[in-house]
Amino acid sequence: MDFWSNPIQAAGDWLSGIFVGWGMEADAAHVLTAFIGILLLITVVMVLDIFLVWLERKIVARFQDRIGPNRLGPFGLIQPFADIIKLIIKENIYPVGVDKAIFNLAPIIMMMSVLLLWAVLPLTSFLGLDLNVGVLYLIGVGALGTLSIIMAGWASNNKYALLGAFRQVAVMISYEIPMVVALLIPTILAGSMGINSIVAAQSTWYIVLAPLAFVLFLICATAELGRAPFDLTEAESELIAGHHIEYSGMKFGLFYASELLHTFTFGGFIAAFFFGGWRGPWVDQIPLLGLLYFLVKAVIGYWIFGWIKYTFPRIRIDKMMDLNWKFLVPFSFALLVYVALTNALLRETSFYAWGMFLSNILFGWVTLEILRRRARGERVKVETAQKPGF
C-alpha cells in the first residue's frame, strides 16, 4: 500500500504487525491498534479545543474593537494553558443537597457527546467511519448533550440551574425537528445517509443546490449549541449562568470546552454537508490534502458561528419557541418536499445546478412575500384595535 494514499491505514497495519511480532493474536492486535488510534484522535481534538479558546477570544476581540489575549506567548497563544492551570487548581465545591454522582457525571457526558461525533466526521476520504446511517448517528449522539444538561440542572439543587436546564432542553428538542429535516435534504441529493458518501457525491456543492437548507441548518445548529442569539440557558440578567452555575474548576472547564468543540464540530458538519468537505483541487493525487481543505472549511464555519454570536442580540424565550414551531418546522417540511420534487424533475437536465439554485431562490422569495403580507395584516389589526371607537 502506498503510504501517502492512506497513511492512517498504513500506520495501523505497521503497528499491528509489531504487536503480532511480539506474540499477540492478530485480532487482539487490531483491537489494540484501534484503541491507540482513538486515544490519539481524542488527544488531537482536545489540543484543538485549547486552540479554539484562543481563537474565540480573538474573534470576539475583533468584533468588539479590542486586542484580545496578547501577553502570554506569541499572540497570546499560551493564555489558554494558563487558564487550564487555574481551573485545575481551583477548589472543587459541592452545593448543599447536590446529587454528587449525577453532578460529576454531567460534564463528562457533555464532553463525550461531542467526542463521539468525531467518529463519523469525514476529515479526509480515508479518515472517518462511513456509517450508512451517519445522519441518524449524528442526531442520536447529539441527544446525549441534552441528557447531560438536564442532569446538571437537576443535580445542582439550584432553581436557576434547573430553570436554565429546562429552557435549553426545550430549545434543543424543539430545534432538532427542523434540523433533522434540513439534514434530509443533502441525504436526498446524495442518495445516502453516510456522511462521507454525501461528501463524495458533491461534484457541485450543496450550498449551491440547496442554499435554503444551509440557512435552516445554520439557524437550528446555533440554537442546538446554545449560542447567541439563542443562549437562553445563560441569560446572565435572568439566570446568572444557567445549568452549570454551581460548577467550578475543571468541571466548569469541561462544559466550556464542550461548547467550543461542539461549535467547531458543527462547523465541520456544515463543511461536510454543504461545502464539499474534504473535496478540493489535487485531492485525487494527494489524499492527505483533503484534511487541510476540511479544516479550513470547518474553521470558516466556526467563524460564522462566532459572527452570529457577537452580532445579534439575545431574543426572548417565547419568541424563540414561536420562531421554531410557527415558522421553521412548517417551513422545513415544505422545503423538504419542494427540494425532493425539483431534484427529481431536474436531475437529468443539463441545467441541474442552475435550476436547483434558482428554484431555491424562488421558494425563498415566495416565503418572504407570504411573511410580509402576514405581518402587514397583523399590523393593520393592531392599528385598528388601537383607534378610539373600535
Say whether both 196 and 247 belong to one domain.
yes
Name the domain boundary from 70, 89, 108: 89
Q: What domain range includes position 4?
A: 1-89
Instruction: Please indicate, yes or no, whether residues 287 and 262 belong to a single structural domain of this protein.
Output: yes
Tell me the per-residue pLDDT of 192-242, one tens digit each, with 9 for 90 and over. Answer: 998 988 999 998 999 999 999 999 999 999 988 888 788 776 665 565 677
Residues in the chain: 390
Same domain, 261 and 162: yes
Is the residue at 229 inside a domain?
Answer: yes
Neighbours of 384 (CB within 10 A): 9
Same domain, 85 and 213: no
SS3 128: coil
According to the model, what pLDDT value does residue 368 have? 93
Between residues 125 and 295, the one the model is more confident about = 295
pTM over 0.85: yes
Contact 186, 198 (CB under 8 A): yes
- Would residue 389 count as lying in a domain? no
Would 375 be classed as within a structural domain? no
For the stretch 157-186, what's the b/e string if a residue is b when 16 or more beta carbons lie within 10 angstroms of its beta carbon? bbebbbbbbbbbbbbbebbbbbbbbbbbbb
In terms of domains, do 30 and 60 share one?
Answer: yes
Q: Which of 52, 72, 89 finishes a domain?
A: 89
What integer pLDDT is reported at residue 235 of this predicted model? 61
Is 372 part of any domain? no
261, 338: one domain: yes
Q: Which three cell numbers stand for residue 261?
A: 468543540
pLDDT of residue 233: 65
Please give the grid coordinates belonging to residue 217. 441548518
127 and 248 inside one domain: yes
The pLDDT confidence band at residue 5, using thresholds 50, 70 and 90, is: low
153-191: per-residue pLDDT in tens? 899 988 888 888 888 888 888 999 999 999 999 999 999
pLDDT band for position 17 (cuts 50, 70, 90): confident
- Is the pLDDT at 37 greater than 90, yes or no? no
User: Residue 261: is its pLDDT beyond 60?
Assistant: yes
Q: What is the predicted pLDDT for the residue at 160?
A: 84
Mean pLDDT of 359-384: 90
Helix ranges (DSSP H) in the chain: 7-21, 26-63, 79-89, 100-117, 134-155, 159-190, 195-200, 206-209, 211-225, 236-239, 249-274, 289-309, 317-322, 329-346, 352-386
> Which of 72, 89, 106 represents a domain boundary (last residue)?
89
69 and 56 belong to one structural domain: yes
Same domain, yes or no: 201 and 346: yes
The number of domains in the chain is: 2
